[in-house]
Chains A and B, each alone.
Chain A
Amino acid sequence: MKWLALIAVIATGSLLIYAVSDFPDWGSASSPANGGVEGAGRSVSQTFIEETDTLTHVPNIVTAVLADYRGYDTMFETVVILAAGMAIFAILRVLRDTEKPVDQSKHDPSIDGDHQRIIIGTTCRLLIPVIQLFALYVVAHGHHSPGGGFQGGVILGASFILLGLATDLETAIARFSEKQFIGLACVGIFIYAGFGVLGQFYGRGFLDYGALQPIFMTDGEPMARSHAMLGVEVGVAFTVTAIMFAIYANLASKGELKNGL
């Protein structure tokens, strides 16, 4: 059986290596990724590179492609993240109280806790605001420099996870409760889809940000697209933040949202 597997692997591998010879040369101008096939029209990437700045006024082409040209794709990517969080919730979360209820008033949700944690508590107090501020910067600057909703959301979620790791889960949950993070995750999708539906009120297509020009009161449609992209990124950041923390909280406490790691 092992030999059979080895033969299959070698056969597949040599087929793949054989296929490499059909690849375009490294950096070849006529490869589809660079300039398009000879004789055909302008390639897709060429179109993005040349027209993004005039059509959207967004310097970061990657964000423009993600949030505008492929808006549907990104929207449902965000929905996938929400679905992942909901799946973990559905599988792990223990909703019945198996033990007798813990007296919540006894738990001290301050970061420092007892004196043994004072070094960790002080560091958290010092770092978490900086991390969260940087996360907001990454979200807000997503269409001007590398960053965006997913990255900023992950950083923001990580700041809450750091709090949960450094102290205990109750301390983090006291600041970002289950009701809040599940709500925030749905609000994120709602914001994204809302920007799409808003365009339909002006008789244009779903996720056609140019139609939002009267709402944003910009000079032209390109600037409206830029603003709408920022709004969409904020929605993505909401969902990613909430789901990051939800996944951590459920996995770390076996779905009980108590004690944690």
Chain B
Amino acid sequence: MIQETIITIISTLLILCGLIFFLGAAVGLLRFPDFYTRMHAAGKGDTLSSFLVVLGFAVYQLHDFKFTEAGFKENWWVLLLILKLIGICAFIMITSPTSTHALMNAGWEDDIEPELKHKDANELEKDYPRK
């Protein structure tokens, strides 16, 4: 009983944290001034929030699991399910930042100008010449 309560609380906290980050990402996507900062918000917020939400699901699956020898024998499939969910987390951690990077790169090469305080302060032009 106490185990179930703890698991519910932990998973709810994780999912709620994820939703807060989702909100941050959505607000950033809408409110930031230019393409690059928007992508920054979407890339970072999305990655962490989906990671937290899926991790919350993984923890929630422990409801069906008993931490005894018989529990391991009977409910091994719960561990398999958790492994798959963690696999999804790993995939998101790899792919989401990469796609953000690819989009940024494409934007840079398509001459999208970042919003700057001083127009000539764009140091990137020297370090990363456009193709």
Establish whether residues A123 and B95, one from each chain, have CB atoms under 8 Å apart when the complex forms.
yes
Instruction: From the candidates B91, B94, B102, name the one contacting A166 in the complex (CB within 8 A).
Output: B102
Establish whether residues A123 and B98, one from each chain, have CB atoms under 8 Å apart when the complex forms.
yes
Q: Does A116 contact B (CB under 8 A)?
A: yes
Expressed in whole angstroms, the Cα–Cα distance for A224 and B57 within the complex equals 40
Q: Does B31 contact A (CB under 8 A)?
A: no
Establish whether residues B94 and A120, one from each chain, have CB atoms under 8 Å apart when the complex forms.
no
Q: Which residues of B (77-111) have their CB < 8 Å from a CB of A?
A: 91, 94-95, 98, 101-102, 105
Chain A: number of interface residues, binned into ranges:
under 10
Expressed in whole angstroms, the Cα–Cα distance for A120 and B103 within the complex equals 11
Write the chain A residue with the least CB distance to B101. A119
A166 proximity list for chain B (CB < 8 A): 102
CB distance from B77 to the nearest CB of A (A): 13
Number of A-B residue pairs at CB separation under 8 A:
16
Instruction: From the candidates B91, B102, B128, name the one contacting A120 in the complex (CB within 8 A).
Output: B102
B102 proximity list for chain A (CB < 8 A): 120, 166
Expressed in whole angstroms, the Cα–Cα distance for A120 and B95 within the complex equals 9
Instruction: From the candidates B95, B105, B128, name the one contacting A127 in the complex (CB within 8 A).
Output: B95
Expressed in whole angstroms, the Cα–Cα distance for A126 and B98 within the complex equals 12
Expressed in whole angstroms, the Cα–Cα distance for A120 and B102 within the complex equals 7
Establish whether residues A116 and B94, one from each chain, have CB atoms under 8 Å apart when the complex forms.
no
Digitize B24-45: 1 where CB-to-A-CB distance is under 8 Å, 0 elsewhere: 0000000000000000000000
Digitize A110-123: 1 where CB-to-B-CB distance is under 8 Å, 0 elsewhere: 00000010011001
B95 proximity list for chain A (CB < 8 A): 123, 127
B101 proximity list for chain A (CB < 8 A): 119-120
B98 proximity list for chain A (CB < 8 A): 119-120, 123
Expressed in whole angstroms, the Cα–Cα distance for A127 and B99 within the complex equals 13
A126 proximity list for chain B (CB < 8 A): 94
Write the chain A residue with the least CB distance to B109. A116
Write the chain B residue with the least CB distance to A166. B102
Write the chain A residue with the least CB distance to B98. A123
A119 proximity list for chain B (CB < 8 A): 98, 101
Expressed in whole angstroms, the Cα–Cα distance for A123 and B91 within the complex equals 10
Establish whether residues B94 and A123, one from each chain, have CB atoms under 8 Å apart when the complex forms.
yes
Expressed in whole angstroms, the Cα–Cα distance for A127 and B98 within the complex equals 11
Q: Which residues of A (190-245) have their CB < 8 Å from a CB of B?
A: none
**What are 16 A-B contacts with C-beta separation under 8 Å?**
A116-B105, A116-B128, A119-B98, A119-B101, A120-B98, A120-B101, A120-B102, A120-B105, A123-B94, A123-B95, A123-B98, A126-B94, A127-B91, A127-B94, A127-B95, A166-B102
- With A119-B101, A120-B101, A127-B95 known, 7 other A-B pairs at CB within 8 A are A116-B105, A116-B128, A120-B102, A123-B94, A123-B98, A126-B94, A127-B94
Write the residues of chain B forming the contact surface with A, with a CB cutoff of 8 angstroms: 91, 94-95, 98, 101-102, 105, 128
Q: Which 10 A-B pairs have the closest CB atoms?
A: A123-B98, A119-B101, A120-B102, A123-B94, A119-B98, A120-B98, A126-B94, A127-B94, A127-B95, A123-B95
